[in-house]
Structure 1
């Protein structure tokens, strides 16, 4: 028989019309795997919708709610509001927002996935806070809720009482972080392996990277410069060098990069080097010093500073948590 301390953590997942199915599934699946690996029920996830009605998700699939927002009563361990294309109507639904506000008072930890942050913001739960959301919706939400510091960069932002995450599969990263905080890191790693995902991306790792960014831009000067930089990361890649190679002035090259990529040539190179280093750290057994040289940082300290600045952890910590292959020295 379970003691009170061992009672399952009640988790309420709030969904609405045109919610994103993955926002819901990532959370519930990860929690159920945590139960499986522990051999007992640690989490009791329940999906709620306004009126307890079926949820016509953004993918076109229909999901049955297990309860209604109106009937839901705390205490809950965690309240998680999903995102999805229907989030604007959801955050403008006064009754839905009021129930989220009520349930938040009965919950230890409130969270959102993706654009679900808009619902939390409408409920006044993010005022004065920094919040993560999907990069493509951050500007819209900033305009709607000026008291909230919406950040399009991190995968998730976790505070003791309120947590917000980026889009879609970032729900997995947030839920793995919950499992680690609630139980331990070993269980979070077991769940991650079972789901065949990275062992956990740090919350402040950037949402958008050179590997997930949109297709190459149309401007041929930027295209050629990006391609050259990516193939010669261990060489000198100053703006002066790149501009000279492209046959344009430094000022013109900077204007082109800002217009097409939103960053200066120097910042692009630094980001490209950091992400190349991340791949080598996770997929090879090269020393940190060797990775630094191969990616153009020169020294391990320069690589460490770049990692701490970009994702908030050291290269050695990143390798310890992200290594996902049986590595052999190339």
Structure 2
């Protein structure tokens, strides 16, 4: 099996070349962690004979691509959520991929209209509640109800996960009602927005609040962590809006770089990532949901039960991203 090559950051301006122009290679820039994607790349190399060179980072992808321009070695861009895909799309850093395989495998709401990006896994923006409250049917709209005054914890409203949620609220209710909702949620906060999704569940365990927002896969990660399991055991994971439009979902996704030197290899990798085997490997490792219908979820994820997802296209939701940021400022949500 051929070796996967990795670097640690996009930010460095002086790095030794790690990519070659060989036709049987594909170069990946990835926001996803090595433990999550290296098994996939190894399997792809095993099946295709195409070597995968990969650079890992947490930020700076769009900036590096813009700096490199037409000389960029990047073929495939692997990202963590819809906001980062839209950033790449809006900055003209992606190219269309026309593939019957991808069209058949990936639901239309999880791909760009111009075929410039495709979702690979989904995660729900869940509402976690203190276990002592019991099972409940809850909606995102309920978070502004005064009965939750002083009982809600969340990370920054401007984190991409929450920006996407606010964008979905705009798509559903319009800007005026979403601003009213944000102001109501702010009044209900137990503390200033801070930390990450797991930190909010920890706060529920500590008795600081009763309700929090968090992505579904964090629940699995906490249950599998010796220290954090006690946090997860203190909450119920709820799928919001099951009586109407369904729970808001986000994606991890992928696209092909505008100046990709190995277009055919890049397309082959994308099609592999949409295959049954890759979808199951990818989703199970990070406790996310496969986008491809019929692919088995991990036993742990399946144990949380079935749910109805909002079927509004993510591209439509993402079109409200700037408006969402404006409303968060108006509501002074993070202050």
TM over 0.5: no
TM-score (normalised: structure 1): 0.28
Q: Which of 1 and 2 has higher RCO (CA within 8 Å, sep 6+)?
A: 2
Greater per-residue helix proportion: 1
